[in-house]
Structure 1
Amino acid sequence: MGAFNLRICVLAAGLLMASQAYAAYTMEQMCAQWSGKGYVGNPNDCTGWGFCQGQNLVAWGNCSPNQTYNAQLGICNWSNQTVCKSNPVSTCQLATSPMYVADPDNCNQYYNCDGKGNSQVFSCTTGSVFSASGPACVWGPTCPQDSICQYMLNDIFVGDPKHCGQYISCSKGVGTSGTCASGYYNLQTGNCEPKNTCDSSNSGSTTDDQFTVGDLSGAKTCANGWAAAKDLSTSEETVTYKFVSDGATCYGYYYCATKESVGVWNSCKTGTHFNPKAGQCVSPAAYACPYNRCGNVAATFMATVNSKCGTYTYCAKGTTANCPAADPYFDEVHSICTSGTLNYTVCTEEVNLTN
């Protein structure tokens, strides 16, 4: 592995490809669930890797030219021998032998590489999904490639991001959920222990570090947020409930049955932010959230509010940087620096950062 290069990191936003697949987990989230020490793959870059230690992402970098990172083996290998999970077309163009590759955007589809640079897209039958570890179409509603293990080493145990106190066994990029015969899985130690170490900071959401689903709001939260929350699909007179921002995260909201009720906390689907004026979960670019915009999104970089998208934030460190002068605007939807003016709300709307 090469040494981490800060200059490469700062300029990387200008080099990210618009065709990259949306990842279910970031490298930071994978490290947080693993008690061990070692490498993980970068879901947004076929050549990228990160190094986990103490449940934190402590280093990152890229393989040499013409190499792709193999997350299950933890090595950089020749690109014509290694599947690029976020870009199957690229894999097929480089492959020198026939292979099947999962479609990162549609679990029902897969690519057939002929080993001569060509590819064809096929679909599994209704009710089945493609499993890259097979490779084969298998029955079931869950996409095997959505596992946290997809970019992690073979033969390791990690915490289950959706069920704290349980574990997942990683093998060939697929995770098998498990529970301790007695006690709870402690993701800090990697062992089953009698004491349950789960609390609101590790309750089971991959993005929730302040709240637990079902938490109750303060007495006046619903009353204070009632005026700001408006359901766009229904008139004010007929709405009998509201969704109110939690006032701390970009993705959390309270369900308020009435203005006088106590709110119940919930989280937007991964990849979205809660817009309190719309009362809906929306694309992050469609709402200029005044809180940490990296929360609940599997993105390496996010545009910085009040910068007209002239600045972006590196989510792993919380630091900011500017795009190069030739392409001065950061387009977070496509993860690229561009010269074209952007009309996303996050680029055009000024927000009060003291909210």
Structure 2
Amino acid sequence: MEKPVVFVGVALLLVLPLVNARDEDICRLFSNNTVIRDPDSCSQSITCIDSVSHYSTCSGSTPFFDKDQGKCVKTLTSTSSCSISCEGVATHFLADPKSCYGYYYCSEQETAMYGKCPQDTHFNATTEMCTHQYESACTTSSFEYCNIVKNNVNFDNLQGCNQYHVCEKGVLKDKTCTNQYYQASTGTCVAKALVDCDAHPNADKCGKASKPTVDKFVADDATCRGYFYCAKQADGSPDPNPLWNQCPQDKFFDASSQMCIDPTLVKCTNDRCDGRTAEFVVSATTGCRNYYHCSGGVASEEKSCGNYFFDEQLGSCVQSIKTYTACTK
């Protein structure tokens, strides 16, 4: 038996906001073949394939990428965060409002042609030249997701395994899967076991204000191995950001003993194949006659031994009666 671990030394890492979308490939948020505008450029589009960004650049007489039409266009609406006007600035270079290295050349009053500064340089709007980065005060502009994603496209919300975003009439909306988790690769809500995520919902996991849970481990209610640690708060309120961790391989969390123990001793109805090395494991169905085939840590369809019992140690159906805690009332 193993006692769940409290990682005091990394507590701050776990309660800080999750990684900003800019720090990693943005396509990990989107399903395959989703096309968005590059957050850093008004002239580039991104096609997401297997969570990897593939870039395309608009040029010539259609220098802007329109995220709603999904194609390169001559001009964008004045309400766009990428709106560029060449009126009164013919033969001048203008900065790309979404990029430090991009620029537009207004060859005439109406047409803007896109260009990029060489590597390690930024565009200086004052001198209309590319300069060394260390001489530049430019920082990448912040962006609103609905400025780069068209309406009614689902994408991942990293704040919670069961949460996702969608733009409705240009406004970002938060959505929640019911009893499922959001799968970015398909853009749909699926069984929790199919999603590799540790941002499990923690609302009310540490009790209510009238009766907070203090200095205890509680099940995450999404996996059989996972648990939260509810730390004591100075003001006596429930821990708003309990630390999440999980039991080692082939161990399940048991709330009553506050320990990581043998899975057959734990009544858990979540995916019982998570973290298991056994190919066949007993299900939580009362009677101990049912089992799952495990593949990649995910349970297949539940099977029955009929009039026999399932022996987890042997991984097979046997005549002798089995009374595992996992499958008894």
Q: TM-score, normalised by structure 1?
A: 0.34
Q: TM-score, normalised by structure 2?
A: 0.36
